[in-house]
């Protein structure tokens, strides 16, 4: 009988130990699940922060690019305006030079004969005397 009682006690101890081991395993499992959940939350927070930082950097880069593009366009417009004004001025100078050359050639042609020169001189003298 003592053997049966010893056996029963042994089985009872083994069952209690198994229950204790199961409870400990459940606690470890629960702790591991909590740690995994915490790690997932931290990962999600880090990923969100990284996405927010990326969006901020992209936004700043777009803003800088837009500002730089506007500056370049404004500078190009100013350069075009200045070159246009310079071209117009150069064209006016060329027209004036050509006009003077044409007038000079016409006068040389008109005054090439001596009788024409005398007529022009007499006309000028008459105009002076009339005034």
Above 60 in pLDDT, residue 131? no
Q: Could you tell me the pLDDT band of residue 79, with boundaries at 50, 70 and 90?
A: very high
Across 100-109, average pLDDT: 85
Across 112-118, average pLDDT: 76
Q: Could you tell me the pLDDT band of residue 93, with boundaries at 50, 70 and 90?
A: very high
Supply the pLDDT for residue 129.
74
3-class DSSP state of 112: coil
Tokens coding 20: 């204790």
Above 90 in pLDDT, residue 44? yes
What torsion, rounded to 10 degrees, do the Cα atoms 2, 5, 11, 12 define?
-140
Supply the pLDDT for residue 69.
96
């Amino acid at each position: 009988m003592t053997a049966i009682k010893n056996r029963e006690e042994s089985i009872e101890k083994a069952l209690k130990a198994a229950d204790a081991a199961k409870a400990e395993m459940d606690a470890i499992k629960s702790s591991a699940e909590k740690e995994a959940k915490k790690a997932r939350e931290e990962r999600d927070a880090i990923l969100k922060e990284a996405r927010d930082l990326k969006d901020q950097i992209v936004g700043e880069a777009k803003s800088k690019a837009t500002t730089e593009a506007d500056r370049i366009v404004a500078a190009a417009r100013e350069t075009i305006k200045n070159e246009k004004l310079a071209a117009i001025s150069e064209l006016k100078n060329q027209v004036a030079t050509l006009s003077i050359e044409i007038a000079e050639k016409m006068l040389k042609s008109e005054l090439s004969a001596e009788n024409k020169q005398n007529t022009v001189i007499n006309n000028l003298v008459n105009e002076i005397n009339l005034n």
